[in-house]
Chain A
């Protein structure tokens, strides 16, 4: 019975935590400009994330090592600095854009500019980390994140042609605006397969004391949780395709996306969009901050635990404090949230090889995962993902130049 409860909670947290600034805006832009055509990118991103989450959870449950631990221990400091520096840099930019997302939601609700909200939001996130435990952080933001189900409701109310929706799951070439199409496709991948998500997940598994007996739960959480999350992203895209595309509304400014739910759900739609954006981004803010601190602390051998009090892990607490307040300062300085979000999604996508390819080694290491190492399917899938990640890295610079904006 307890296992069923854990499982349900695990799936629920995965759904609630899925959407954030990047996935919302990329899905909206994708739907507004290309209709259902980019659904395949959402699907591929979701599958990729599912794979990485299941594997990182398995790694943590079987070996008791998080991804951060394993990267340092298996590859040594010389290699570890690469994912460390790149991971921290990219995560920092994503973190700033998430804080921007919350600040924007508050701006649209109150009329007070987002720069003024940036530091209060950062402080609120810091306070939650300071006083809260891992369970509170994870479950709290995710349960609240269920407000994003409004997108699914809106999508259903719009009665899409499900045949055409299904056709969007098959990759097709765009009829117009090729560079822009691929730019958004890659950004969707970066938004879905956020490294912070599966690194955070493995730390959570260790914080919760997962063992080999939790492997079925891990698999179910990864598959079902991420699937539902993917459905959420798809719903955002579908609504944008049905609301923005026919009206010819492109999202050049973040705030235009708030019009997404109003034609379908009226005034509640406006409120729900702002709530979804604010809550989803706030949850992401806290999780990314934690995952940055986890990576640093685990890699360098500091004590780390969100469950413990800050005084017991001072270097860890200092790390997340500095990270979140600095990111808040970036948004308070008035950086354009949309530009930053788009750019950081692209950067995330380009940096995927650094985190995905090592997993191929880790998940086949007998010393680490023993008999639970990857079967042929896991390796083939992970290998395909690595190839995709490398292709994305190589195309990132040209895409940013000709497709970005």
Chain B
């Protein structure tokens, strides 16, 4: 009897450890992001906006798709803007980053409107603006410590 209880307790402990690691793993499904990674994400959205504008101009991608994509991207960019830890950035970047992110959000909204209007000329300008903004974000990312 005593050995049986000891064995059961051992098993329970083993089961608890296993459960702990599984929970850790599941909880880790989110992952944490550092400022360079967040800026890389924003940069990617600027590039995506540029590509969407270019492709939509020639009618290669669907209108609904483009609008949905821009809307989803704006959500992500706004999330980055609120989540980014400015204290982890060098002092000269701390003002520039929120500004750049806000500009990206505005640009994406603008692009979505150009798409809605079917304005080919505006889309061309939006693409160029997205390109420039991407460069800005890349420079900021380098300052923040990314490659």
Contact = CB atoms under 8 A, between A and B. Distances in A.
Interface of A: 107-111, 175-176, 247-250, 252-253, 255-256, 258-259, 262-263, 266-267, 269-270, 339, 343, 396-397, 400-405
Contacts of B43: 248
Given A252-B76, A400-B25, A270 B48 contact: no
B52 to A, nearest CB: 7
B62 A108 contact: yes
A262 B65 contact: no
Interface string B36-72: 0100110111111011100100111110110011001
Nearest to B22: A397
B92 interface: no
Interface stretch (B9-17, B27-35, B113-121): B27-35
A250 B41 contact: yes
B61 to A, nearest CB: 5
Nearest to B30: A405
5 contacts: A108-B65, A108-B68, A247-B47, A262-B60, A262-B61
Closest 7 CB pairs of A and B: A405-B31, A111-B64, A250-B44, A401-B28, A404-B31, A248-B47, A262-B60
Contact of A250 (B28, B30, B40, B60): B40
Contact of A253 (B28, B32, B40, B72): B72
A270 B24 contact: no
Given A259-B52, A400-B25, A404-B31, A270 B44 contact: no
A402 B47 CA distance: 25
For chain A, what secondary structure do more than half of its interface residues adopt (helix, strand, loop), or is it mixed? helix
Contact of A262 (B29, B55, B68): B55
Interface in B64-119: 64-65, 68-69, 72-73, 76
A259 B44 contact: no
B61 A258 contact: yes
Contacts of A400: 25, 28-29, 31
A266 B44 contact: no
A249 B68 contact: no
B55 A255 contact: no
A253 B76 contact: yes
A249 B44 contact: yes
A267 B41 contact: no
Contacts of B72: 253, 255
B84 to A, nearest CB: 15
Given A248-B134, A339-B29, A401-B28, A269 B68 contact: no
A77 B1 CA distance: 27
Contacts of B76: 252-253
Nearest to B44: A250
Nearest to A243: B51
A250 B44 CA distance: 5
A111 B60 contact: no
Given A266-B58, A397-B24, A252 B29 contact: no
B55 A252 contact: no
Nearest to B63: A111
B64 A256 contact: no
A252 B65 contact: no
A44 B65 CA distance: 35
B47 A249 contact: yes
Nearest to B59: A267
B64 to A, nearest CB: 3
B28 A404 contact: yes
Given A253-B69, A256-B44, A397-B24, 11 more contacts: A247-B50, A247-B51, A253-B72, A255-B65, A258-B65, A263-B51, A270-B62, A343-B29, A396-B25, A402-B31, A404-B30
